[in-house]
Amino acid sequence: MMPTLCCLLAASLQATGAWPRIETSFELRDLPGNPFVVADNDIHVSFAAPDGKVTTVPAFFDGGTTWRARLTPGAVGRWTVASLSRNGQPLTVTPQPRTFDVTGEPKPGIVRLVDGRFQRDGGEPYLPLGCNIGWGDRNGDVPWYMAKFAAAGCNWSRVWMCHWDGKNLEWTGRKLPPGELDLDVAHRWDGIVDTAERLGIAFQMVLQHHGQYSTTVNPNWPDHPWNKARGGWLDKPEQFFTDPQALALTRDKYRYIVARWGYSPAILAWELFNEVQYVDAVRHGATASVAQWHRDMAAWLRAQDAQRHLVVTSSDLSLPIYETVDYLQPHTYVADAVGAVTAHEALARAASKPMFLGEVGSNGDLMADDGTWLHRALWAGLTADTAAPPQYWTWNNIEKQHAYGHFAAATAFVRQSGLAARAGLHRLPATVATTEAGPLRFGPGGGWKSGATAFDVQADGTVTNLAQMGGFLHGNYHRTEFAEAVFTVTLPRAGSFAVSLSQIARAGAKLRLSVDGAVAAQQDFPAADADQNGVWTLTAPVPAGRHTITLRNDGADWVVLREFVIDPCVPALAVRARGGGDFAVLWIESRRPGPAVTGDLTLSGLKPGSYRLRWWDTLAGAATGEQAVTVPADGRLSFKTPPVAGDVAGWLAP
């Protein structure tokens, strides 16, 4: 037994993770050139680990004559500053301190991607689940919000480098010469990173956002300090991606960002851009320059970052900008939360890299969600074939609605079930039969254009091609776009087919619903309704049986499709399951209000054997009971659900 015991002890002593950062500082007086410009002052510090391995990191200027270098050590023992250099030549200054005695237990390390799954150094699984915190507001600053979400168990966020919140290093309340960065802003970011690290949150640091280089979508370009009209040197925003001076200054800023915060496990990823599809360069056809910018900046960040953080960007998936990032991050805003998840998990299964939605919310008034949309998105996401659940955008609405409990219930479920540690999970076939039928609600999964026009509503509520259904139903102005949708559907008894709209174009629209070729309902939506956020509905009666239903826009311009409701159509309970091997998670939702419904659930895809099924209250965040079940040799498990009013979750394990 002794050799085995010795091997185990040796392995435990070599455990990896993260220990509190080590930081050294030194003074460089009479330094020529700009301390923020790499070409003038390329300062590096090398740290030697206890085993002699050397890690070299860029140093950063911190005001006066002070420079600093930071590193998160990956092992206990004595670490030493081995050398310093400027522009490739040795520096003879003395750093303080020069040695560090690293002791204690490791904390979770930097997040990596291992076999397509997020995992921290040291092996701890990491399932991103949280909320965006783009900037502070009258409620509190970013660290204040982080504490609120961390208390609900959240471990993920996105934070923007935006000028209106005092978080843009080069665009502040005071005029900075090109190439100078604001150290007050840098100190503010120190606090954000320190808070996130203390709370166990890993966040995407969003380095650029679309409004900075857009004249149409959330346009900030008129106020940009690099705009020639504001005293800068760029004639138009698309030059940001190609102008030599803009490229050099951006690289210098990114180098500074890596030097100052690249030590931290709180950085999940450097996010190159938020929604770059909205910048003028893309709108004016210069997509190639945007793609090249992404390639160059991703390579630059990786060359500077000794800690090897992930790199990501966010946009729709049609742009050729994803080859150099580590995972995919689209955004979506639609009325149907479950539909949004379902549409994108189909894309995730086909993607070559991990993917999860980095921003989600209901279209229309984002502050109107009372938590219902968020709740459905979270639980659909926990049972989805994506790398993580969708991440809610409107952090201030969570505060307004006091909706942190939805996150607390979901994160507690992840902890109790051990979901994050499970590999190889995928959607499992699951159906539930009920004596009563209920309505089917679904919404489009696409954007301006549609990749499909025919949609088959299946017996379990699945709608084929939903991911390719455009969110805009066009009229005569864009007749060649998505102007007609054809649905095939079977109703168990006579009912209705309804479509609701969340926005109408300024020129107005006219919708028509036909059942088996005969017009069943039509309505004008005049220009008087333009530019209003609301809900408009058109409903057609549908007989029992199988029918073809056609929705067509014969008006002048587009409408935004909010939701479709077919009633009755499907079993009164809906079920989603994800698992593999000897583990699965379930989410069961009632499709109709009123008394609780019970159904007969069938789940396929698990190994035969004895299991314990634990039920979970998705609002209270607590287990409600458990039962023993047996998966037979054919892998088809059948059991009766508990009474469901609202929704319930569960997990199976041996």
Considering the domain architecture, whether residues 169 and 232 belong to the same structural domain is answered as yes
Considering the domain architecture, whether residues 165 and 232 belong to the same structural domain is answered as yes
**DSSP bridge pairs for 603:** 430, 637
* Helix, strand, coil percent content, the chain, rounded in steps of 5: 25, 35, 40
One DSSP character per residue, 119-147 reads: EETTS-B----BB---S--SS--HHHHHH
Q: How many domains, the chain?
A: 4
Q: Annotate 199-228 with three-state secondary structure.
A: HCCEEEEECCEHHHHCCCCCCCHHHCCCEH
Return d(Cα 133, Cα 130) in angstroms, integer: 9
Q: Go through 4-15 and write b for each residue having 16 or more CB atoms within 10 A of its CB, e for each that does not.
A: eeeeeeeeeeee
Phi, psi (degrees; rounded to nearest 5) at 406: -65, -40
For each successive 10 residues of the chain (654 residues), what is the average pLDDT?
32 59 97 96 98 97 98 96 97 96 92 95 95 97 98 98 96 91 98 97 98 97 96 97 98 98 98 97 96 98 97 91 95 89 90 96 89 97 98 98 98 98 96 93 79 92 86 90 94 96 91 98 78 78 98 94 93 96 97 93 97 98 96 96 96 97
6 within domain boundaries: no
Encoding tokens for residue 323?
A: 């080859």
Q: Give residue 462's pLDDT.
A: 87
15 within domain boundaries: no
> Please, what is the Cα angle at 379 between 378 and 382, to 5 degrees?
90
Q: Give residue 529's pLDDT.
A: 52
CATH number at residue 284: 3.20.20.80
CATH number at residue 649: 2.60.40
CATH number at residue 482: 2.60.120.260
Q: Give residue 364's pLDDT.
A: 77
Other CB atoms within 10 Å distance of the CB of residue 488: 14
Tell me, yes or no, if the pTM score tops 0.85: yes
- Among residues 571, 594, 624, which one ends one of the domains? 571
* Torsion angle in degrees (nearest 10) through CA of 131, 137, 138, 140: 60
Per DSSP bridges, beta strands 310-312 and 430-433 are unpaired
Measured between alpha carbons, how far is residue 181 from residues 163, 165, 175, 277, 301 in Å?
A: 13, 16, 11, 27, 18
Measured between alpha carbons, how far is residue 93 from residues 28, 89, 96, 102 in Å?
A: 8, 12, 10, 24
Closest CA to 51 of 3, 9, 16: 16
144 within domain boundaries: yes
Considering the domain architecture, whether residues 577 and 567 belong to the same structural domain is answered as no
Considering the domain architecture, whether residues 189 and 316 belong to the same structural domain is answered as yes
Return d(Cα 114, Cα 420) in angstroms, integer: 13
- Among residues 529, 554, 571, which one ends one of the domains? 571
391 within domain boundaries: yes
Considering the domain architecture, whether residues 290 and 166 belong to the same structural domain is answered as yes
Considering the domain architecture, whether residues 565 and 585 belong to the same structural domain is answered as no
CATH number at residue 86: 2.60.40.10
Considering the domain architecture, whether residues 471 and 489 belong to the same structural domain is answered as yes
Considering the domain architecture, whether residues 559 and 586 belong to the same structural domain is answered as no
First to last CA, the chain: 30
- Cβ distance 587 to 610 under 8 Å? no
Considering the domain architecture, whether residues 442 and 521 belong to the same structural domain is answered as yes
- Cβ distance 216 to 222 under 8 Å? no
Q: Give residue 24's pLDDT.
A: 98
Return d(Cα 199, Cα 151) in angstroms, integer: 9
Task: Give the SS3 label for residue 505.
Answer: coil
121 within domain boundaries: no
632 within domain boundaries: yes
Q: Give residue 479's pLDDT.
A: 85
Considering the domain architecture, whether residues 582 and 557 belong to the same structural domain is answered as no
* Domain encompassing residue 528: 437-571
Considering the domain architecture, whether residues 451 and 521 belong to the same structural domain is answered as yes
Considering the domain architecture, whether residues 521 and 648 belong to the same structural domain is answered as no
616 within domain boundaries: yes
Residue 210 makes CB contacts below 8 A (sequence gap 6+) with: 217, 218, 273, 274, 275, 276, 277, 278, 279
Return d(Cα 643, Cα 638) in angstroms, integer: 16
Closest CA to 344 of 440, 457, 279, 427: 427
357 within domain boundaries: yes
Task: Give the SS3 label for residue 587.
Answer: strand
Closest CA to 614 of 631, 598, 627: 627
